[in-house]
Amino acid sequence: MKIVVVGGSGLIGSKLVAMLTRDGHEVVAASRRTGFDAATGKGLAESLRSAAVVIDVSNSPSFEDAEVMKFFKTSTHNLLTAEVAARVQHHVAVSVVGTGRLLGSGYFRAKFAQEKLIKESSIPFSIVQATQFFEFLTSIADAATHGTAVRVPPVHVQPIAADDVAGAVAKIATGAPLNGTVEIGGPEPFYLDGLLQRLLGARNDPREVIADAHARYFGTELNERSLLPGDEAELGEILFDAWLGRIALTIPNENVRPATAGVRTGRSPLKENEFRIGEVPPGSVLLVGECAVFNIEGGFCATQALCTHRQGPLSEGSFDGTTVTCPLHGAQFNVWTGAVLRGPATNPLKTYRVTVDGEIGRVEVPLAQAVQGA
C-alpha cells in the first residue's frame, strides 16, 4: 500500500516513515525538501499518484495568527483537492486535544479550521487529536518565560511521547477510516508547572516555574482540565521518567508551537539552522531543521537528515564513531565525508560545515539550498 506522509522529515513524520516502511508499505516522505509543497500545490499530483493513504503531520512555518490560519486552510484545501483527483481512500491528520475549546489562540483556531475542512471533504478521514508531546515541553516553557520565571496556569496535562504518537497514527492510518476523531494522550496526568520544573531541573536550567492563575497558554485562557483528553482517549505506554532518562531533549524547529506576541525568554531564541551544543552530547545526533548534526568526541559535523536510498531518518539510526546506519535498510555513511560505506544506498550524503560560537552551533547550509528547502 502506498502511503504519503506530508511533513515526513519532521519529528512525527520521520518516525512514521520508518515504522511504515519496516511494515512493508511503500512510503513517500513528502516535504519541501523533496519538491512537495501543499501550500502552493507544488508536487501534489505527482506525489499522490496511486496513493491509498495520506497522513498530514505538517505544521505552519509561521505562527502569527493570520499566517497560521492561511497555511492550514490553504494547504489542507490543496491537499484534499489533490486527493480527490488521485482517488485517495483515507486522509489522516494529526491535530491537538482541546482544539475546539481553545479558540482564544490563533493557532488552535487554525487547527479547528483545518479539522472542519477535512470533515466537509468527500475523502474518508481520521483525525487524531494528541496531547502535548514530551519533546515539546521545553517550547511550552520558553513561550511562557518572562525574565527568569516561567509563568503557566495551574492546570493538568497528560503529555505523550512522540514514539507513542507515531505508533498510534500508523495503526489508524493502516486501518479503516474512522470518519471521526480519536484522542490520544500519555499514561500519566501531571500539573503543568510541576512537570516543567522537573524537566528544567533535569536540564540544569535555572528558570523558576510559577503557577499563575492569570497566565495564558499560547494566548488563550484555560481551566484546570482544558488540556486533558476525554475518558475514551487511547493512552500511550511510555512513562515520562523513562523518556526523560533515555531521550535527548530536542525541539525540532519546524514543529515548535507558537509563542504569543511580546514574550521575552531567558535565553536568546535560536535562529534557523542553529542548535545548543549542550543538546548534542559526544556520540549523539540531533535533528536541526532538515540536517542531522553529529558530535564526534566534541567535534561537530552535519549531513542531510534523510538517507539517499529511501529517505530513512538518520537521526533515528545508530551512530558509532564516524559511521551512521540508516534505520530502514541498513545503509551506512561516513558522517564527515558523506561517503557510502555500505549499500543499498549508492549516492553519498550532502555534508555541511558546522560553526560554534559559545554555546550555540550553526549548520552552514548554502543559501541556494536553504531557499529551495524553505
DSSP, collapsed to helix, strand or coil, labels residue 184 as: strand
The pLDDT mean for the chain works out to 86
Task: Name the burial class of residue 100, with classes exposed (0-12), middle (13-18) and buried (19+) by CB atoms within 10 angstroms of its CB.
Answer: middle
What the block records as the C-alpha cell of 117 is 475542512
- What percentage of the chain has pLDDT greater than the value 70? 91
DSSP, collapsed to helix, strand or coil, labels residue 266 as: coil
pLDDT tens track for 113-126: 999 999 999 999 99
Say which residues have a Cβ less than 8 Å from residue 7's Cβ, sequence separation at least 6.
Answer: 13, 30, 31, 56, 57, 58, 59, 254
Among candidate residues 312, 160, 361, 84, the one with its CA nearest the CA of residue 324: 312
Query: Which range is least confidently modeled, 147-151, 186-190, 253-257?
Result: 253-257
Phi, psi (degrees; rounded to nearest 5) at 300: -110, 140
Task: Supply the DSSP symbol for 314.
Answer: G
Alpha carbons 24 and 21: distance in angstroms, whole number? 5
**C-alpha distances out from residue 107 to 44, 138, 149, 198, 230, Å:** 25, 18, 24, 27, 21
Say which residues have a Cβ less than 8 Å from residue 112's Cβ, sequence separation at least 6.
Answer: 99, 100, 103
pLDDT tens track for 65-80: 899 999 999 999 999 9
Asked whether the CA dihedral 219, 220, 225, 230 is positive or negative, the reply is negative
Q: How confident is the model at residue 367 (pLDDT cuts 50, 70, 90)?
A: very low
- What percentage of the chain has pLDDT greater than the value 90? 51
pLDDT tens track for 94-112: 999 999 999 988 999 999 9
pTM above 0.85, yes or no: no
What the block records as the C-alpha cell of 141 is 516553557
Please report, in angstroms and rounded to a whole number, the separation of the first and last CA atoms in the chain: 29
Alpha carbons 279 and 275: distance in angstroms, whole number? 8
